[in-house]
Amino acid sequence: MVGATTWIGWQVAGSYSRRLRDLRALQSALAVLQTEIEFCAAPLPDALTAAGQAVGGVIGELLARTAGNLIAGGGITPGEALIDAVGEFSGTTSLKQSDWEILLALAPVLGASDRGDQVRHLRLAAQRLEAAEAQASEERQRYEKLARYAGVLTGFALVLILF
């Protein structure tokens, strides 16, 4: 029993650092995307693939899937391709809904305007992700250890109560 609650505690604690890792990956990916758009004027599927390859992990897969959705066609816009991919991957990360909303705010404008406008939107998203990262970092410092101790202590407490 103590093992089980400890494990749960570690999982909860781990989610704080995973969120931080994914937020950083997302920022790096958007930076690559911005470079691809601003300096190479690369078509969006290529730009998304490049950004995905640069960061790897779940975020990399998500961007690769967005590019894949776009290439598959069917009359969908880049924004819809992104929304579909986020719907598919959002359950597999530790990112919060508020984090996804930063990315999804790009959906209506992704690929739909000139370079200057795309860069503006990507910068704005990057700033918001930075703020989310700062918040995530603070939460991690505050709650990571707490979650681990809470896991172990809850286990002992339950043992004491039950036996």
Q: Which residues bind other proteins (CB under 8 A)?
A: 37, 41-45, 47, 70, 73-75, 77-78, 81, 110-115, 117-118
In the complex, what is the shortest distance from the CB of residue 31 to other proteins, in angstroms, rounded to a whole number?
16
In the complex, what is the shortest distance from the CB of residue 41 to other proteins, in angstroms, rounded to a whole number?
5
Residue 86 is inside which H or E element, if any? helix 78-89
In the complex, what is the shortest distance from the CB of residue 88 to other proteins, in angstroms, rounded to a whole number?
18
Q: Return the closest-CA partner of residue 20 out of 150, 135, 147, 151.
A: 135
In the complex, what is the shortest distance from the CB of residue 131 to other proteins, in angstroms, rounded to a whole number?
26
Give the integer Cα–Cα distance in Å for 42 and 145.
Answer: 44
Give whichever of 44 and 136 is closer to other proteins, judged by the CB atom: 44
Give the integer Cα–Cα distance in Å for 4 and 97.
Answer: 28
Give whichever of 20 and 37 is closer to other proteins, judged by the CB atom: 37
Give the integer Cα–Cα distance in Å for 130 and 31.
Answer: 12
Give whichever of 78 and 151 is closer to other proteins, judged by the CB atom: 78
Residue 54 is inside which H or E element, if any? helix 44-55
